[in-house]
Amino acid sequence: MSDRLYIFDTTLRDGEQVPGCQLNTIEKIQVARQLESLGVDVIEAGFPVSSPGDFSSVVEISKAVTWPVICALTRAVEKDIDCAAEALQYAKRKRIHTGIGTSDSHIRYKFHSNQEEILERAVAAVKYARRYVDDVEFYAEDAGRTDNEYLARVIDAVTKAGATVCNIPDTTGFRLPNEYQEKIAYLYEHVDAFAAGKSILSTHCHNDLGMATANTVAGVLGGARQVEVTVNGIGERAGNTSLEEVTMIFKTHPDLNIETNINTTKIYATSRMVSSLMNMPVQSNKAIVGRNAFAHSSGIHQDGVLKNASTYEIMDPKEVGIDDNAIVLTARSGRAALKHRLHVNGVDIDGEKLDAVYEAFLRLADKKKEVTDDDVLVLAGAHRADTHNVKLEYLQVTTGMGVRSVASIGLLVANEHFEAAATGNGPVDAAIKALKCIIRREMIIKEFTIQAISKGSDDMGKVHMQVEYDNHLYYGFGANTDIVTASVEAYIDCINKFR
């Protein structure tokens, strides 16, 4: 008999904390619905006291989602807990996730406190949260670097105060897998509530040293029965444990007797949707969902796979929802086919919005033979530019080898038309210089990445850009079959975010 492992998804909380990955409430609802159809057990929907936007996202996700538990984060502070309880009022199943730092460094430098006082605050927060909800999760921030004996005292006390789940974050991604496994096993052995089935242990691993997934699996082997993960492993710094990796590790290793509720065939679409909405590219060699994850390029491997896929494939790409025969849209596809593809990818639109996306789809299908799921997701996200103050009207660039590139550009700024021209050492340089003749601000490009969406020379290019202005960093995104236009769109996206 397998043990059930609960999947706690924090894409919309820890994942969304990444600069440039912020979503609006409508987008968060889209992701939450997709997570529900994927089969996650818990959705951490936000940190309600942190901003009115986070508060309303937790409210709206609570209304939109039926089956998963909706969880809201707090510090061990009464006003945070009050706020979380209010934000969760519409959730059918709800959880408050409260906690405090327990490592020496957090106790000394963050709280200027001592171990006994922190233990009391932890217990008080859990008791206070239990006044609102039956399901309270406690996190011991920086548990990875917290002394095991003290950690066990805190965890024992909070379980006695009513914590139904105890989260042991390796906040800095420092622990080695065997050390993390020992920590979880130590807590399992020294805190009665776990063996008694009154509480469960949860892993929450960060990827600073590339060990998040290994640590999470080690934690499960040590006795944890909930894992905290994000889609594509997004999250602060090097990110969190990735949902798809953990899920597929237990699926491909049935001997471990751990099962999840994840419908793995929805993994790929979920990954694409999160990447597209959050403007966060997935590295090509990312396990499970990277473009090359199932691409065999060497002759020996190709030969083996053609003879029998099991020679070099440990899982069937179809198991994670990668289907080479998936329907592609063409210029002859109708509105209904487009609407259906969007729906399969978790985007439900109708009426004027569908008309606008369909128009954009036809324009793209004219340039590209086949329009993929990734393309339609980008098109569906393009309406975000509708409310922009600065819009690109036209762009013309002449470029070639041995000549300087020349660009002329037309912009609408607050509905007023401006034009400029400039030369540069390449087409993007010329276009950005022309744009800067109109928008005269001290802006510096800090990061600039171009990625093809799927394959082929007619593909759309996605551009992610980071621009520094007035000591702040702004993140922008653009997508177009013309990468110079996509670059300018990404630059303009940054400008539209200037405060």
Q: Which residues bind Zn ion (CB under 5 A)?
A: 14
Q: Are strands 258-259 and 3-4 parallel, antiparallel or unpaired?
A: parallel
CB of 490 to ligand KIV, least distance (A): 29
421 strand-pairing partners = 408
Tokens standing for 470?
A: 């007035």
Helix ranges, 10-51 (H)? 25-38
Q: Which does 139 bind (CB under 5 to 8 A by kind): Zn ion, ligand KIV, none?
A: ligand KIV
Q: Are 366 and 331 spatial neighbours (Cβ–Cβ below 8 Å)?
A: yes
**d(C-alpha 55, C-alpha 59), whole Å:** 6
**d(C-alpha 108, C-alpha 457), whole Å:** 57
Tokens standing for 171?
A: 């906040």
CB of 197 to ligand KIV, least distance (A): 23
Tokens standing for 101?
A: 């730092």
Q: Which does 286 bind (CB under 5 to 8 A by kind): Zn ion, ligand KIV, none?
A: none
The footprint of ligand KIV (CB under 6 A) covers: 14, 139, 141, 167, 169, 171, 204, 206
CB of 235 to Zn ion, least distance (A): 6
Stated as kind and residue range, the H or E segment containing 462 is: strand 461-469
CB count in 10 Å sphere of residue 160: 16
CB of 103 to Zn ion, least distance (A): 14
Q: Which does 272 bind (CB under 5 to 8 A by kind): ligand KIV, Zn ion, none?
A: none
Closer by beta carbon to ligand KIV, 124 or else 362: 124
CB of 167 to ligand KIV, least distance (A): 6
CB of 241 to Zn ion, least distance (A): 10
Q: Are 101 and 110 spatial neighbours (Cβ–Cβ below 8 Å)?
A: yes
Phi first, then psi: give them for residue 49, nearest 5 degrees. -75, -15
**Which residue, chain included where needed, has tokens 């997935």?**
282
CB of 168 to ligand KIV, least distance (A): 9
Closer by beta carbon to ligand KIV, 139 or else 188: 139
**Which residue, chain included where needed, has tokens 């909800």?**
133
Q: Which does 141 bind (CB under 5 to 8 A by kind): ligand KIV, Zn ion, none?
A: ligand KIV
231: closest CA among 268, 203, 194, 191? Answer: 268
Phi first, then psi: give them for residue 250, nearest 5 degrees. -70, -30
Closer by beta carbon to ligand KIV, 101 or else 424: 101
Closer by beta carbon to ligand KIV, 14 or else 16: 14
Closer by beta carbon to ligand KIV, 238 or else 356: 238
Q: Which does 177 bind (CB under 5 to 8 A by kind): Zn ion, ligand KIV, none?
A: none
Closer by beta carbon to Zn ion, 47 or else 477: 47
CB of 204 to ligand KIV, least distance (A): 5
Q: Are 48 and 84 spatial neighbours (Cβ–Cβ below 8 Å)?
A: yes
Closer by beta carbon to ligand KIV, 166 or else 193: 166
Cα of first residue to Cα of last residue in the chain, in angstroms, is 56
Closer by beta carbon to ligand KIV, 48 or else 169: 169
CB of 275 to ligand KIV, least distance (A): 21
**Which residue, chain included where needed, has tokens 């969760």?**
88
Helices 267-277 and 243-252 cross at an angle (nearest 10°) of 170
**d(C-alpha 451, C-alpha 303), whole Å:** 29
**d(C-alpha 131, C-alpha 127), whole Å:** 7
CB of 169 to ligand KIV, least distance (A): 3
Closer by beta carbon to Zn ion, 274 or else 467: 274
Residue type, 13: R
Closer by beta carbon to ligand KIV, 208 or else 259: 208
Helix ranges, 67-211 (H)? 78-87, 104-105, 115-130, 148-161, 177-190, 192-195
